[in-house]
Structures are given as structure tokens and as C-alpha cells.
Structure 1
């Protein structure tokens, strides 16, 4: 049975990402400010952007005004925040007020539900007030809406940075504003009620932007959007298996990883694809699609979520001139600079598409030509390529993993082998012998020219001959893509220990004992933490190599994330359970890499480019897991690491048997 919306409920009291709680309908995304029970912050619904908008709600009970979001401490008088729950499509927050005024008790509970709208720009805030005073109380809401500087941003301009606000909107009526051609209005269903003892008053406010907003009372709008959320989630998860496990933390981690993918799917019909896979997007930033993280981190989970639309996503990315851009905006416009990993990411995604849906010979040929063109974009260095500076690579803040590097040169070799395989499977007429020969030459050159035997690690070579030895997690990607002999791999794997790459809460992008390059200001790629997709991908690489104990040693350090994030941020620390407090790091599609590693690594489910599937579940050190309801090419597959069994359409099959 597919997951239901309420199974993704996350207790916000456990969150370690203060100030970063957003919720999306797949059309509108809106911010719930920390410490507030009823407040609403900025929102985005492309092409509309209202980053500096706000809605505050002051309560009134028997003539006493009560402010929301009381400051911490004894002096903080007002409605007190008492926790809440996040789930796809809405945020519920709780508040309490319990004070005496001139000898009479005022006591009530407040429950607000914030629902981003689907099909139009805006949100609905429902406020339920339960009277605990033991007598009838007259309750009123006093909304204070600030539209900020809302503006219409062309879909081709939604890039990495969230849109800036426009000129301040001017009032055009009691609850209406205009800024240029953008109108904003607030509607409600009444703002005052008499509430008997033990009774509950329900209020509803809607804030909407743009002409032609669909009619409806606020609560009706919220109900319709909630129904769309359930429909979207059911569609995205219809093929994704349900996980059960006795391993502490594994189930919430699995669900948090899935949620990370769900919040990156957008349904706006004006976008180049629907669903559209955004790299991030919850706070309006990176509401664009990178080839790199879309294809590179969880291609099979993404195919399960997208279904046949996965081919559309691949084709949309192939339309971008990746020799000049790294991403596409929602309307298909190319954005950014060329990125060294784009070709590998496309081939990775295409290999997953081939497994789940098949690829035509024409598409394989087009993919080959695109990858060759991107390869030619970077300067030849013998059999290898010079990938330039951090501008095109990892964006470390110091010199290091630059120019002629083991990764992504190893990924080039992997791509050539996969293109040859896809050509043979599809009937495309690529020069498969030449492709495989070039792949062998690249791997030989990496070992010969970049491997430092005495250090047991790869060097990076600059054009002037200078070399850097950076203990970077990216080197394990070179290992995963076939650049290492068993001896080389053994030397590298010895660094997967505490005090080097491993820490209590994950993996460090730069090993802690690399004192030349390790730093704490850039947890993304320079140390003290890592990009969220890297830890799970390393665990998967280890499972793929036949190192299950080491794979689990990496994975178990990440399970805390499911308990402390409703969806996974772009990066996180590895020495403590937290994400950096500053910067634009709200959510990331590569959060799906955790579920990908569990499905294809821990559970041993391997999707084959020819459409077959092999499942080899193996015992895990700390317990077991069961995956039920995986839908693949019209088969329903269950896998258990507890019993080591595989079931296809209700019938037992041998582990390791090819399923077609």
C-alpha cells in the first residue's frame, strides 16, 4: 500500500533547522516563521514572487489583545508557541494562552493550519481557537497583511538565488494591493465569534496573487489544495516500496529521504515538464533543474516517482546547451556556467530511464553527441581532460581539487562504457569498440599520471605542473567509476575511519586530517560536513564494491537526519546533528540519495539497463529491513534482508535471479 500524507508527519519540536521551515503544494511554496503560531512569511508561486511578504495575526479575547510570537522568557507575554507538525502540503502549529485578567481566567488553545495553494498563487491560513476558560468568550482575529514587493518574474529567470522583492505594493482597498501588474488580495470567512466554554471557533484567511484567481471560500480552497497534495503524493509514491525495519532511525530516514524528493516536484503546466524536478526551490532559490543532481544522485528513485514522465525530464535536460550552462530554468532556459559533471549525470539518468522504460536508438545517439560535445568543451590533457577551476568543479574555497583530476575523468570513462552498452541494447550504431577503448585509456592514464603510490591517494595536476593532494570525498567517486586497482582501492578505503573522513554524524567532504585543505566555513565541499548526497552515495559505492560492513558504517551515521529534518537540507555537519544556520540551504533533491542507497545498496536491488532486475538482499549488522510493493515494469516486488527472500507478484524467486 502506498504511503499516505500523514505518514510523513514530522514533529517540528525535533527540527534542527530553525527558520528554514517551508511547505509546498507543487505550485506555491510558503514560509512559516520560527516561534510564531499564526504568522506567515514570504512565498513563491512562479512566475509570482513575494519574498518579503508577511501576515501577522493578533488575537482578541473579551477585549484583550494578544500578540502572536511572544519572545522567549518570562517577559514574553502573548500567544505562546507550543510546537507543530510538518507534512507534505501543510504545516500545523500549536499555541497556548493561559493568563488571568482582573481576576478572570482567559485560557485557550490555538491550532493553525498553513496550506499553500495549488493551481493559483497564494495560501490559506486556518485558525482554530478552543476556549478553555469555563465561560463564553468573544474571540476576534486582527490580521495584519504586508504584501511586501510582489512581482512577476519570468520563468527563465528562476535560477540559483531566490528572486528579490520588487517595489512596495500600494493599497487599493481594505484588503487589496497592487505592485505593477501584480495584484494581491486577502479574503476571510468572518473575523469575530462568540465561543462557548469548551467550544472551538474556526477562522480562515486566504492571501492570493494574480488576476483570474479561482473562486472559492478560503476553507474550500485549502480543501482542494489538500486533495491535490494527496493525489500528487499517491501518484509519485505508487511505485516506491514501503520500508519497515527494526533498525532504530532507518524508517524515519527513509521517509525523510522520500520527502526530500517530493518537495522538489512541481506541477505548473507552464514549466517545460510536469512534474518539473527542481534542485531545491522551497525558498524560491534553485527552482531550476541541474543535470548534475537530478541525474547523478538518485536516478532510480526519481524514475519510480516520475513514471513515464522520467523520459520527458531526461529529454528536457538534453535540450540545454550544457557546454555553456549547468541547469535549466522552469521554462527550459539555460542557466549558469558549464559544469564538469553534467555529461556523467545525463548518462546516469539515461541509464536509469533505459532500465525503467527503455531508450530509442535516436535518443542514445543524441545523448552520445551531447556528451562528446561537452567533453570537447574542456581542454585535452592527453587521454584526460583539464576541467578548469572551482568555477566548473566543486567550488572549494581554496586551491585543491582542480584542473586534471581523477573525478570526473573517471566518470568520462564510465560514460563511454555505458554509451557503448546503451547503443548495443537500443540498436543505435555508435562506435562501441572505440568508446570502450577510450574508456580503458582514460582509466590507465588516471592510474599512471594521477595516483601517488607513496600517499595512497590521487593528485590533481595544474597546467603549470603544480600538483595538489587533496583528501576529498570526490576521489571515492573515481573509485566507484572504475579508476582504481584493488590495491589503490584498499589504500583509499583505509581513510574511511574516525578522525579522517568519518565522524559521528556523517562524512566530511575533506578529511579532517588533511590540514592543508580542511576547513569549517564551507561544509558543502570543504570539510566539517558534506553535500547531502555524498554520504549516501559513498555508502552505495561501498555496497556495490562488495564492502557491506563499511557501507553500513557510513550509512548508520546519517540516520539521525530522519529524526531532525522534515526534508533534507543541501548540506549538514558531520561532527554534530545540525545544518549550517546561515546561507541558502533549505532543501535539496539529492536528499533522495539516502533512499537510493538503501534500495539499491542495502537491499541489493539492482536495476539493469536491459530492463531486468536482480535482487540480492544481504544481512545488515544492526538488524533487518523489508521493502514491500516495489513496482517495476508491471511487476510487484518484495525484498527482505531478514530472510534473504525475494517475492515477485506474490511468488518466491531465487535471490540473484534476473527478473523480467
Structure 2
């Protein structure tokens, strides 16, 4: 491939003058939402949810250290002495306020309703709008109600808010783990408001403001905080436009999934703090696995130099015995087999945009080696590791993908080889040759010991010699790690077919043809759907492996999500649109994997630790995709991908596909 010289590019200094996206670009029409319908908004220091089916009702909220999951605010109205209730029941004759829709935006939730009745010779026709905004810097939220008169009559309006007797619980930051905190009774929750009565003139409107929280402490304007956050987080990312139905919205909703995991609480271990989930108070912790494992390039572009603080905070925790950190940096859980690989992946992406300290690379090496030593070598050659049972892996509910498995042994090889690469780039003086040799040994043994050529799949082996053929999506991670020779790769990819791993609306975490391991209840790792990051990551893997047709076939099945979710849930079905109605399905940082697949897979924009950028797009017959304004090491890159051809410009100058943009 030709190498473009640094002199051939015009230097672009500083950040783009305006962010490529505004808050309105992430707006979502709530009428399009599919189950689960529980919608939350966050400020960066707190979150709050609606009462489903109401126009004005507000449910639980969280603002660490405060948890108020059982708090409820309901609102009723009097119009000229006539009572109007919110949350009207379906059916003829109900005289309540009727929901008509609404809009989610990262900073607020707007809902609308209508009341239109003719009685006793008078028409009462009102539009009601509520805007729910979590406070930033103070526990609680604000609810602004606007009542508009659609007739020429004058009405006397009284609003009647009712706050439940629930109190807020103080929960230490170290205790905010996977499960949302339970209710408690430590601090009173108060309701504040201005006047509750008003006269609404003909074709006029009136506004009421309600506040709910534990203190009267001053708050920061949530709107301004969000505008600043969006400018920082997406300022280096490209805009995406396309005539392919759903692609553009899928990209935006993927970015929104990352934005709602963004916390800037002053008492958290880092600012920003990137939570695994957090909108409903659960998984406010940060897992090394999905923080670095699903969208390291996009997340690094979003964070800028703050990515180094994120890596440092995870290294400070004892990941040899923990899988995540609480908001204050406290380690949580047990040793997780994927933690070391994920951290190395995030560090590799960070190195592509800035110089890494050799000491950081050395610390990564120490953590990875120590983590490896925590898992016993297998009893055949000692090269592979026994990664234990499901508590250390990805929690398939039945026996199958456990102990000596192809993944994450394959990822371990990739991580060792990548550390050697980072050592070469930074001068960290790691035993690079030894690391590369170990990586090759692991890859060879994964195939020799675990590949079943007759079945065309990997076996997992238990300590007593028992083996299982579990057709888990985790096998494709071995393909990504570089362990698969061509015949093995071909056999794996043959399994990607409808009725097996492919559903009309995504991929299954376990092949539907695997009668022993496939199930429909717990879908993220056991079948009938998948963890939200897995589908786009599989597509990215296939693009990386030079299989663009299959890659697009996987990604196109996910595009419906951009039309029907404000942000992506933890998991979703693959045979029907939607996610399970029970359990915690709120939001997930792995939703960023969609943007990662589009940027580094479909568009083929791949940063490397030496600072160079390789661009090799993958046209699809379905239509045209344009990426505009990627800011990378003071370059501005645009890519147009059309059927049969591509156009790439760097700082306004055309370059050829496959050409390398050198580091500055």
C-alpha cells in the first residue's frame, strides 16, 4: 500500500468549531418505542423515569448517594371545578387526560396529552405538556407543566400534585453495583412549587413548575451541561448520513447509548465516569469488559485524553480478583476472564491518538500476567487456561462453554501480541519476542486441542475430561483474535445462517440448532437473542476478516433498533423486535458497538498504535453512506461509500482506499 507523506496534508488545528450533532439530533419519538417501555433520562449526576401511561406522573429517581426507587409524583387537575385525572383508563367514557405521545432527549423527557370534552353546552379542549428534567448537582428533578387552551373560552385551572410518602436512602458510592439500590428511609423528599392556580385565557397557555428532591441546594442548568457534554463527546466523531433505511438512526441511537452512560459526578473516581448502565440505578459500576471490549475506538474518540484516566481507574482496582469498579473506584465482583483483554483493547485505541506512557503499558502487562496466573493452566500442555465456570465467563445458564474454552484463550493470545506491539511503540521494554511466541503457541493449541473438525466447531473441556459442543456466539471471538486458519474460519462462518445464529432482527447468542444449550428465557448469552454489543461486534469481526457480504448481512438485521429505541437495552430478541419485559433491560454501554462497527468495519477506518490511520471502506449494494468530519490527530477525514466505488478525502484532499494517513 502507498504511504501518504505528512507534507501532503494540510494541518487542521484544534477541535471542530461546532459539534457535529446537537441534542435535538438525538431526539426520539416515544410513539415508536418497543417494549420495554420504561424510559429514563439522566443529568450526569442523577436519573429519573416517568410513570408509564401518564402524561405528568414521575416514578423513581437516583442521584448518588441518594436512591429513591419507590418515590412517586402524580398530578391531577381541576378545570372550572371539574376533576381531571392523569393516567386515564382505556375505554369509552373515561374523562381523564389522554396521552398522545412525547419526545425523549438525553437531557429531558417531554410528554403530551389531550383533554377534549363537550358537556353542558361548553367545549373544554386542552393540550397538556410536561417536561421532566433530572437535576444536575442536586438530588431530584423538575417537572414543568404547560396547559394550553384550544378554545375561545376562559378557564380556571388548578393542578393538584401528590408526592408519595417515600423517603430517600443514602447508599455509599462503593455499594452501587449491578443491582439497583433498594428503597430506604434516610432523608425526606420534598415537593416545591410556585402557584398551583391560574386563569388560562382564550387560546392562551399557563405554566407550572414543580420540584422534587432532598435538598434546596442550587443546581446547574441540565441543558447547558448536556450541550457541553455532547460537544465534547461527539466533537471528533463523524456525522453519518445514508439512503439505506435505518442506518443513520442506528448510528445516532448507538451514540446516544454511550452518552447516557456518561457521568460527571464530582465524587466519582473519574470525571467523566463511564458506567456500564446506570439509568435505573443498577450497573452504575464500570466493567473493564464492556468499557473496553465493545467500542474502544469510538469510546477513545469520545473521551479524548480522559480515556487515560478511565484506564488508570480500572488498573487501580484489583482486576485479578474483581470484574468492575464502583463509582468511587472500589473493586466489585469476582475475577472476570475478559478483563485483561478488554483493558488492552482500550489501551491500544488510546495509543492510536496519543503517546502512551511506557509505565502504563508495563502496568497493563503486570495486570494481564497476574490475571492469567489466577486461572489454572490446563492439564495437557499448560499453554491454555482453565477459565472456571460461568461466574468467571459470560453466564450461559446451562453447562457448556466453561473451563478450557477457545474464547477467551484466543483473546489472551491477541492481548499478549498487542502488548508486544505497544511495547515496540512506547519503548516499554516488555519481553516482546516472548509475548509473540506465547501468543502463537496459544493459537496453535486452541486449534489443536479444542477444534472438532467433524462438528465444525470448538469443544470446551472440563477438568475431568468431559467435553461439550456449545454453539455459542463466543466462538466468533476466536476468529477475531487471529487464531483460526482458513478452513476453521470457513467452517465457523457457515454457521451464520437463518434458523441457526441469524434471526430476522439480529443474531442469537446460541444457535437455535443447538438443542442442548439454546433457550428463550435468558437471551443475552443463552439464545433467542443476544447481548446488545454482540451483533455489531460480529459484523465488525467479519469485516476485519475480509468477509464484507456476510458482515453486512449481520448488521442490516439490527438497523430496526435505531427506529425503535431512544438508547439500546442490555439485550434484545433476534426473531422479533423488542427486548424481554422482565429483568433489568434499561441501557448498556455496549450499545456503542453499533457506531464502532460502522466506523471501523463498514467504513474501514482503523487507527493503529503508531498513530497511523488505515482507510479501506466496504461498499454495500443497499445504498450510499457518507461519513463527514472525523477528527483524528489534527486531520479531518470524510468518506463516501457508494455501490461500486468510494471517495475518501483527508483535509480536503482525495486519497485512495487502502492509503495510510500517517501520524503527526
Residue matched to 1:336: 333
Deviation by residue 1:156-202 (Cα, 9 ceiling, x = unmatched): 110000000003xxxxxxxxxxxx3x343221121111011100111
Residue matched to 1:95: 113
Which stretch of the first structure deviates more once superposed, 325-334 or 628-637?
628-637
Determine the C-alpha separation between the residues in 2 that align with 1:427 and 1:629: 32
Determine the C-alpha separation between the residues in 2 that align with 1:632 and 1:157: 38
CA displacement at 1:33 relative to structure 2 = 1.8
1:29 paired with 2:34, answer no
Residue matched to 2:235: 238
Residue matched to 1:150: 168
Q: 1:38 aligns with which of 47, 56, 67?
A: 56
1:486 paired with 2:483, answer no
Give the TM-score, by structure 2 length: 0.95
Which runs of structure 2 are paired with 1:284-299 in the superposition (5 Å)? 284-299=281-296
Q: 1:368 aligns with which of 365, 370, 373?
A: 365
Residue 518 of structure 1 contacts residue 526 of structure 1 at CA under 8 Å; is this kept in 2?
Answer: yes
Which stretch of the first structure deviates more once superposed, 94-103 or 503-512?
94-103
Deviation by residue 1:242-286 (Cα, 9 ceiling, x = unmatched): 001110000110000000000000001110111100000000000
Determine the C-alpha separation between the residues in 1 that align with 2:178 and 2:506: 26
1:526 paired with 2:526, answer yes
Which stretch of the first structure deviates more once superposed, 595-604 or 351-360?
351-360
Residue matched to 1:78: 96
Residue matched to 2:179: 161
Residue matched to 1:504: 504
Residue 549 of structure 1 contacts residue 621 of structure 1 at CA under 8 Å; is this kept in 2?
Answer: no
Deviation by residue 1:352-408 (Cα, 9 ceiling, x = unmatched): 111122211111111100100000010111200000111111111110100000000
Any idea what SS the aligned residue of 1:511 has? coil
CA displacement at 1:17 relative to structure 2 = 2.6
1:9 paired with 2:13, answer no
Determine the C-alpha separation between the residues in 2 that align with 1:655 and 1:444: 33
Residue 600 of structure 1 contacts residue 606 of structure 1 at CA under 8 Å; is this kept in 2?
Answer: yes
Determine the C-alpha separation between the residues in 2 that align with 1:189 and 1:231: 29
Which runs of structure 2 are paired with 1:374-385 in the superposition (5 Å)? 374-381=371-378, 382-385=382-385
1:326 paired with 2:323, answer yes
Any idea what SS the aligned residue of 2:369 has? helix
Which stretch of the first structure deviates more once superposed, 255-264 or 613-622?
613-622
Any idea what SS the aligned residue of 2:522 has? coil
CA displacement at 1:75 relative to structure 2 = 5.0
Deviation by residue 1:438-472 (Cα, 9 ceiling, x = unmatched): 11111111111100010010000000100000111
Which runs of structure 2 are paired with 1:140-539 in the superposition (5 Å)? 140-167=158-185, 180=186, 182-210=187-215, 213-214=217-218, 224-381=221-378, 382-539=382-539
CA displacement at 1:227 relative to structure 2 = 1.6
Any idea what SS the aligned residue of 1:202 has? strand
Size of the aligned set, in residue pairs, is: 639
Give the TM-score, by structure 1 length: 0.95
Any idea what SS the aligned residue of 1:23 has? strand
Determine the C-alpha separation between the residues in 1 that align with 2:370 and 2:492: 32
Q: Quote the RMSD (CA, aligned, Å).
A: 1.1
Residue matched to 1:172: none
Query: Against the structure 1 CA distance between its residues 76 and 395, is the aligned structure 2 distance closer, same or farther, given a 3 Å change threshold?
Result: farther
CA displacement at 1:140 relative to structure 2 = 1.2
Query: Against the structure 1 CA distance between its residues 551 and 384, is the aligned structure 2 distance closer, same or farther, given a 3 Å change threshold?
Result: same
CA displacement at 1:103 relative to structure 2 = 3.0
Deviation by residue 1:202-252 (Cα, 9 ceiling, x = unmatched): 111111224x6117xxxxx7xx21121111111111111100111000011
Q: State the structure with bigger RCO (CA 8 A, min sep 6), 1 or 2.
A: 2
Determine the C-alpha separation between the residues in 1 that align with 2:168 and 2:129: 28
Which runs of structure 2 are paired with 1:51-62 in the superposition (5 Å)? 51-62=69-80
Determine the C-alpha separation between the residues in 2 that align with 1:546 and 1:338: 34
Any idea what SS the aligned residue of 2:557 has? helix
CA displacement at 1:305 relative to structure 2 = 1.0
Residue 29 of structure 1 contacts residue 45 of structure 1 at CA under 8 Å; is this kept in 2?
Answer: yes
Deviation by residue 1:418-454 (Cα, 9 ceiling, x = unmatched): 0111001000111111111111111111111100010
Residue 166 of structure 2 contacts residue 189 of structure 2 at CA under 8 Å; is this kept in 1?
Answer: no
Residue matched to 1:110: 128
Residue matched to 1:171: none
Residue 291 of structure 1 contacts residue 326 of structure 1 at CA under 8 Å; is this kept in 2?
Answer: yes
Any idea what SS the aligned residue of 2:336 has? coil
Residue matched to 1:175: none
Any idea what SS the aligned residue of 2:255 has? helix
Q: Which ranges of structure 1 fall in alignment gaps of 5 or more residues?
A: 168-179, 216-220
Any idea what SS the aligned residue of 2:329 has? coil
Q: Which ranges of structure 2 fall in alignment gaps of 5 or more residues?
A: 1-18
Residue 254 of structure 2 contacts residue 591 of structure 2 at CA under 8 Å; is this kept in 1?
Answer: yes
Determine the C-alpha separation between the residues in 1 that align with 2:36 and 2:146: 24
CA displacement at 1:646 relative to structure 2 = 1.5
Deviation by residue 1:592-633 (Cα, 9 ceiling, x = unmatched): 000000000000100111111111123112012111111111
Which stretch of the first structure deviates more once superposed, 74-83 or 459-468?
74-83
Any idea what SS the aligned residue of 1:115 has? strand
Determine the C-alpha separation between the residues in 2 that align with 1:444 and 1:191: 73
Determine the C-alpha separation between the residues in 1 that align with 2:94 and 2:577: 29
Residue 298 of structure 1 contacts residue 592 of structure 1 at CA under 8 Å; is this kept in 2?
Answer: yes
Residue 71 of structure 1 contacts residue 77 of structure 1 at CA under 8 Å; is this kept in 2?
Answer: no
Residue matched to 2:7: none
Determine the C-alpha separation between the residues in 2 that align with 1:526 and 1:580: 13
Q: 2:647 aligns with which of 645, 651, 656?
A: 645
Residue 189 of structure 1 contacts residue 203 of structure 1 at CA under 8 Å; is this kept in 2?
Answer: yes
Query: Against the structure 1 CA distance between its residues 322 and 197, is the aligned structure 2 distance closer, same or farther, given a 3 Å change threshold?
Result: same
Determine the C-alpha separation between the residues in 2 that align with 1:74 and 1:574: 37
Determine the C-alpha separation between the residues in 2 that align with 1:159 and 1:142: 37
Any idea what SS the aligned residue of 2:211 has? strand
Residue 552 of structure 1 contacts residue 621 of structure 1 at CA under 8 Å; is this kept in 2?
Answer: no
Determine the C-alpha separation between the residues in 2 that align with 1:562 and 1:242: 15
Any idea what SS the aligned residue of 1:42 has? strand
